[in-house]
Amino acid sequence: MAAGDAFLLTSQFAAAALFLLLACVLLAVRFNSRVNRAFAIFLMLRGASLLFLALARWQIGQASYDALFDTARYLLLAQPFALAYFAAVYVRPQGGALVRSIGVLAVLGAIVTELVFLVDHCTVVCTADPLVPGPLMVVLQATPLAQAIVGMVLVVNARRQLLEPRGKATAIVAAAFTLLALLESAAILVTLETHGWRGFHAPFIE
């Protein structure tokens, strides 16, 4: 295994464990908090997708490789909708009709997106040479940028609320987003250096 591949595999396993652990910590700190539960959903999706990607890279058999990568892609496609719901709950932690509406739209959007991908995997990317990105690739590529922006906002809020009950949970959330952006950026750079454009899209190729 090349050094770049070993680093990518290790970072994915580490990140998966970190995000799943952070989800458990958030729920343990304050399970009754709507904000904590919403972000825990996103962290679980993110951690599980990274875990399946790492397991896929670790596999040798083509059948298990395809099955693990397919599972990871479905989890990846659901993450933008979980992030949107978290953003709505974070802005309005008391809930209300608007938050409920956004939650319903997020669930419906995730279901429709998953069904579209189920019917045609080329909606993400086709394996033609050169690769042909599909419309759903825009959703996947926009997610890391959104995570970075939300993370920066949360860092600022965490500093202001550090002495308040909500401050500790906000600090945990901010740390998760910041680490996520750093680890994902490092993984992308390593994959581009090692495998080029095709390797960059490897998790999304059928």
Say how far apart CA 189 and CA 181 lie, in whole Å: 12
Chain segment 65-98, per-residue pLDDT in tens: 777 887 888 998 898 898 888 888 887 878 788 8
At 197, the pLDDT band (50, 70, 90 cuts) reads: very low
pTM: 0.74
At 105-150, the pLDDT tens digits run 999 999 999 999 898 878 887 766 566 778 887 777 767 767 777 7
pLDDT at 139: 77
Quote the pLDDT of residue 165. 62
Lowest mean per-residue pLDDT among 7-21, 45-59, 122-136: 122-136
Q: Are 162 and 171 in contact (CB under 8 A)?
A: yes
Distances (CA, A) of 191 to 6, 23, 120: 11, 27, 26
Q: Which pLDDT belongs to residue 203?
A: 44
Q: pLDDT band at 199, cuts 50/70/90? A: very low
The pLDDT, as a whole number, for residue 184 is 66
What's the CA gap between 140 and 203, in Å, rounded? 11
Please check whether residue 172 is in contact with residue 25, taking contact to mean a CB–CB distance below 8 angstroms: yes
Position 9 scores a pLDDT of 74
| Banded pLDDT at 54 (limits 50, 70, 90) | confident
